[in-house]
Structure 1
Amino acid sequence: MNSSEHSADSGDARSGSGGRIPLSGGVHGPAALRELVELTLTALEVGAERRGGPIPAGEPEQLARQFEGVFRYGRDLGDKPDEDALLRLTELLAYGSADPADPSCAAHLHGPPLAVAVAADLAVSALNPSLDSWDQAPAATVMETALVAELAELVGFHPGQAAGVLTSGGTESNLMGLMLARDRILGREVELDGLPAGVRPRILASEAAHFSVQRAAALLGLGERAVHAVPVDRELRMDPERLAAALALSAREGARPIAVVATAGTTDTGAIDPLHRIADLAAEYGAWLHVDAAYGGGALFSDRLAPLLDGIARADSVSLDWHKLGWQPTAAGVFLVRRAHTYASLARRAAYLNPADDEQAGYPSLLGLSLRTTRRADAFKIAVTLRTLGRAGLGRLVDICHDLARSAAEAVRVRPALELHCEPVLTTVVFRYLPSSATDPAAAATPSATPAADPAAVDRLNAELRRVLLREGRAVVGRTELPGAGAGRVRLKLTLLNPNTSAADIAALLDTVVRAGKALEDAEAVS
């Protein structure tokens, strides 16, 4: 078929095999997809080869200009069908992506998904089940229910007593946990009438807790100031004695501690709070215990690292993200509660989705378990992965990445220009580049130290170093700031989630960081 014939067919509503509109489902769906999937895979290869590294080189505006002419607005939208749109846009997407499968792309909790999980996700996209009613997702409803019970058991909850749901990630899961905490501690009337007069709710979380805790407090009408930040140690673990003091202070001030949020895997260092001690304190003050294990939950797959999460089974609710240490395509979040009856305030009934007589007749509904209505069958890819690799197989991937982090820490330690912040707990390595004035004993002893030795200047140097690597397309390295105030808190970060990355790859990446830092120093000296 020539291009003009193809173009004519593309604009014909009856185009496709046998005059059918090419849809992805049904008996004819796989045939309609097969050629398109092959075309997509080709475009992904071409785009990745064109990128040639972990991220496209250049400034953000340069990448944006490559999309000029691709999108049309107003009345012109869709007036001229583009038969090559899938090929061209997929190639652009692949070229312009940060590729977590590249060893030099190691900034975020953004890992490369397993091929089997992506294939499973294709099946979900093709069939398009929606979990808001059984008659839209019969098999997916069964699978999600079974998967939630399996994951509850992994956490240590009794699968017959626990409940849960698939979520878009830790932010949604944390919101749900704090919503149930609010309603359980303050009473379900809060849903209808808002906060009772005179009640001062308080949520206690560490200084290193995820920012979604404050966001959830705002969305729930509690206010961000209801969140009290508990100090942390050098590894960013919550200090339980400071938590005890904060809870006691809340009681003296007449504030009501409704929840304590423990973190099992902080985004910066992977730190895991002392769960048993925190659980004791939450119980003493009658507060709901929510454990944000969005990152650290993957340790449950590893016999070596699972003991770090000892105590998580005492939580009232837990957040897990399998698009982190689970190697799933986003999104693959899970929210679990230890006791199903505490889920009551989320229950909803809509006559067109989950009528009571349907449920009484044996047609289950998951609508009352989620904040969302339309919802993808994200449990399927997780179920396929677990069946394919098993807990031991996933645990091996966790251990590989943990070993890689320990190797990276040692590689940082032996490079004088780099300073390791703390030993890795999971798969994250936090460090910074130190200018020569800070590492040269003779220079450090000189009264007129160079400006680069100033903490604020070191912060600026590390921040710019990271941007240089991005602009040149050489590496994607994370940037963070340690808790506290003042200068000297900026750090670089490697988040190692690629089990195919080698110690040699990481050594080469760190050498790239050092060279970029020295080049910046030299440029500043010349200027």
Structure 2
Amino acid sequence: MPAQLIGHSYTPNIKQNFNHLFLNKQPEGIKEFEEIIQKVVNQLIDINLEQTVPYQGKLPSQVEEEVRNIITFKREGESIEEVLQMIGPAIMQNSLHVTDERSMGHLHCPPLLAGVAAELIISVYNQSMDSWDQSPAATFVEEEMISWLINQYQLSGNADGVFTSGGTQSNYMGLLLARDAFCEKKWNHNVKKYGLPYEASNMKILCSEEAHFTVKKSAYQLGLGEDAVVSIPTDSKHRMCVKEAEQKLKELIAEESYPFAIVGTCGTTDFGSIDPLTELASLADQYDLWFHADAAYGGALILSESHADKLKGLSLADSITVDFHKLFYQPISCGAFLINDKRNFKYINHHADYLNPEEDEEGGMPHLVNKSVATTRRFDALKLFMTLKVVGLSQMQQMVDHTFVTAKETAATIQRMEYLTVANPEPELNTVIFRFEGEDISPEELSELNRKIQQEMLFSGRAIAAKTKVYGHTYMKFTLLNPRTSSVDTQEVLEEIQSLGLKFLKAKEELK
């Protein structure tokens, strides 16, 4: 045996040098694990207790400098105490605290403790969800959780699904399967083997003008180009107009284009609007289209007692996107992709001898990579499983429904305020769109004023509100995912926003 190993002295018992670096059955590994986890827990608790605002308010340049200053590495490493001492102020305190009641900007939920605990288990075991022999029990947990979801959404007996990183991946998968199924049916063309057919340049996807940007992103990633996406106007409630969609379908067919998919949104990012799913399913059936439902946001309504009926028609979709890192309160990332006919997974199925050989399936080894565009995947199904077991369906339902009540009460509060106006007085889900309005100010100045208010709230650390545009004008947005946020919290923030707007207007007048 060689005495040297490329610049290092050989040690017969070298593995003992590494025991403390991993959780293992050796005393030093167990001791180090306990100490590290406890130190991290203590620091998280201390910072959480010290944090009185959702964000410290530092500018991007300040945060960048603080982070850059700690990105240095020593040859011999540093103690966990030293590392925590550095990342506490630079990273943890400079993070957005999504559990704060005033953090209500984006679709960014506070994670439930059961999900956080599951994250630790997932990380320690580090299962890869591509082949059964890398994730024996985890494979069956994911399959059972998919079955639970299929039952909840009342899909067909031939339905199936897979966990994904979230809406972007799920929407991509839906349109990928739709594209390949259409090419096979229309031209008997195997895209997986031969690539896109010549006619693909005229393939079209229909969605509402307020659909998620990942529809267009998926289209160009699939080789169809953004121009393949045809945006359909929405009505006064920001839902896709079915009559407009049908008229556009007729026009596309007349000009010899090939519409192959229609995307219904179940919970738009801004207004939380839900397209008429049943009517879209009927339209898809009439024109032989693949119906994909993007329910990344609204899919959680299966947990609601008062709003579950809004999912009517979702079970008719060919494929469905649902996220758990929104109203299911899971740590990012965690989502699922469901299809009503599992045979369509054939369009992404590929067998590799070293990973998922066909003969394994005959021996009862399910390889989930057969259903995913990703190879290595985390055991995210455990997070949903543990949460439902620990929290229970009743409390989950109460949390979701409470956020809808808060949204409705918040919209009502805005209507009573003199200088604020609400764009959705009857929120579909739990987002509220509003803005400050003053007299004798141009639309452009008004947009700039609302942007300035939103930025001041962020960098003062008072509250996190998002900004968006409605018909070209800047508005602010509350996304009320946190069940601990009440209408009292939102009213206080709204009053601060109104006061800030008046302050800015007064300053502007004084400069004249």
Same-fold call, TM > 0.5? Answer: yes
Among 478, 481, 486, the residue aligned to 1:497: 481
Q: How high is the sequence identity, in percent, across the aligned residues?
A: 35
User: Tell me, which stretches of 5 or more residues in structure 1 are unaligned?
Assistant: 1-11, 438-449
State whether residues 470 and 476 of structure 1, in contact with CA within 8 Å, keep that contact through their aligned partners in structure 2. yes
Structure 1 residues 33 and 90: alpha-carbon distance in aligned structure 2, compared to 1, 3 A threshold: farther
Q: Is 1:81 aligned to 2:77, yes or no?
A: yes
Instruction: Please state whether the residue corresponding to 2:353 is helix, strand or coil.
Output: coil
Q: Is the 8 A contact 1:320 1:333 kept in 2?
A: yes
For the residue of structure 1 that corresponds to 2:70, the secondary structure is coil
Question: What's the secondary structure of 1:383's corresponding residue?
Answer: helix
Matched position secondary structure for 1:20: helix
Residue 399 to residue 343, structure 1, CA distance change in 2 (3 Å): same
* 1:434 partnered with 2:433: no
Q: From 97, 106, 124, give the equivalent of 2:122.
A: 124
2-side partners of 1:248 and 1:121: how far apart? Answer: 49
**1:43–1:91 Cα contact (<8 Å) kept:** no
Aligned to 2:459: 471
Contact 2:327/2:400 (<8 A) preserved: yes
Per-residue CA distance 1:98-144 (angstroms, 9 max, x = gap): 11111111010001010111011111111111101111110100100
Q: How does 1:57-456 map to 2 (within 5 A)?
A: 57-72=57-72, 77-79=73-75, 81-83=77-79, 84-158=82-156, 160-187=157-184, 189-199=190-200, 200-422=202-424, 423-435=426-438, 437=439, 450=440, 452=441, 454-456=442-444
Contact 1:15 1:22 in 2 (8 A): no
Supply the distance in 2 between the matched residues of 1:415 and 1:85 (Cα, whole angstroms). 48
Root-mean-square deviation over aligned CA pairs: 2.0
Change in CA separation of 1:198 and 1:375 when aligned onto 2, cut-off 3 Å? closer
Bigger drift between 166-175 and 357-366 goes to 357-366
Q: Corresponding residue for 2:504?
A: 520
Q: Determine if contact 1:54/1:98 at 8 Å carries over to the other structure.
A: yes
- The letter for the 1-side match of 2:139 is T
Give the Cα separation in 2 of the matches to 1:193 and 1:361.
31
Q: Secondary structure at the match of 1:432?
A: strand
CA contact (8 A) 1:478 1:492 kept: yes
Mapped contact 2:233–2:244 kept (Cα < 8 A): yes
Aligned 8 A contact 2:55 2:461 in 1: yes
> CA separation in 2, counterparts of 1:163 and 1:20?
42
Q: Which whole-Å deviations, capped at 9, do the CAs of 1:501-521 have from their partners, x for residues lacking one? A: 122111111111112211221
1:146-191 deviation digits (Å, cap 9, x = unpaired): 0001101111113x41111110100000000000000111125122
Compute the displacement of 1:393 (Å).
Answer: 2.5
1:322 positional shift: 0.8
- 8 Å CA contact retained: 2:58, 2:94: no
Give the whole-Å Cα distance in 2 for the aligned partners of 1:328 and 1:65.
Answer: 31
**Cα distance in structure 1, aligned partners of 2:12 and 2:58:** 41
Q: Which amino acid aligns with 2:219?
A: A
Kept in 1, the 8 Å contact 2:101–2:482? The answer is yes
Amino acid at match of 1:498: N
Q: Tell me the distance in 2 between the aligned counterparts of 1:157 and 1:226.
A: 29
How far apart, CA to CA, are the structure 1 residues paired with 2:356 and 2:402? 45
2:20–2:32 Cα contact (<8 Å) kept: no
How far apart, CA to CA, are the structure 1 residues paired with 2:86 and 2:14?
Answer: 21
Report deviation, 1:303.
Answer: 2.1
Matched, 1:53 2:58: no
What is the alpha-carbon distance in structure 1 between the residues aligned to residue 77 and residue 89 of structure 2?
Answer: 18
Contact 1:48–1:94 under 8 Å retained in 2? no
1:80, 1:58 → 2: CA distance?
Answer: 33
Quick one: which amino acid aligns to residue 174 of structure 1? N
2-structure distance, mates of 1:139, 1:150: 17
2-structure distance, mates of 1:420, 1:282: 34
Aligned partner of 1:511 among 473, 495, 503:
495
CA displacement at 1:389 relative to structure 2: 2.8
Structure 1 segments of 4+ aligned residues over 4 angstroms from their partners: 12-19, 25-31
**Partners in 2 of 1:250 and 1:392 — Cα distance?**
47
Q: Which runs of 5+ in 2 are unaligned?
A: 1-10
CA distance in 2, matches of 1:460, 1:136: 53
Matched AA of 1:168: S
Aligned partners of 1:387, 1:170: CA distance in 2, in Å? Answer: 24
Q: Deviations over 1:390-433 (max 9, x none)?
A: 33321111101111111111111111111010121111111111
Equivalent residues of 1:15, 1:21 under 8 A apart: no
Q: Confirm or deny that 1:462 pairs with 2:459.
A: no
TM-score (norm 2): 0.92
CA distance in 2, matches of 1:407, 1:15: 64
Q: Deviation of residue 82 (structure 1)?
A: 2.2
Residues 144 and 165 of structure 1 are in contact (CA less than 8 Å); yes or no, is this contact kept in structure 2?
yes
CA distance in 2, matches of 1:16, 1:491: 59
Residues 117 and 329 in structure 1, CA contact (< 8 A), matched pair in contact too: yes
**Separation (CA, whole Å) in 2 of partners of 1:16 and 1:516:** 62
Q: Check conservation: 1:293, 1:319, Cα contact below 8 A.
A: yes
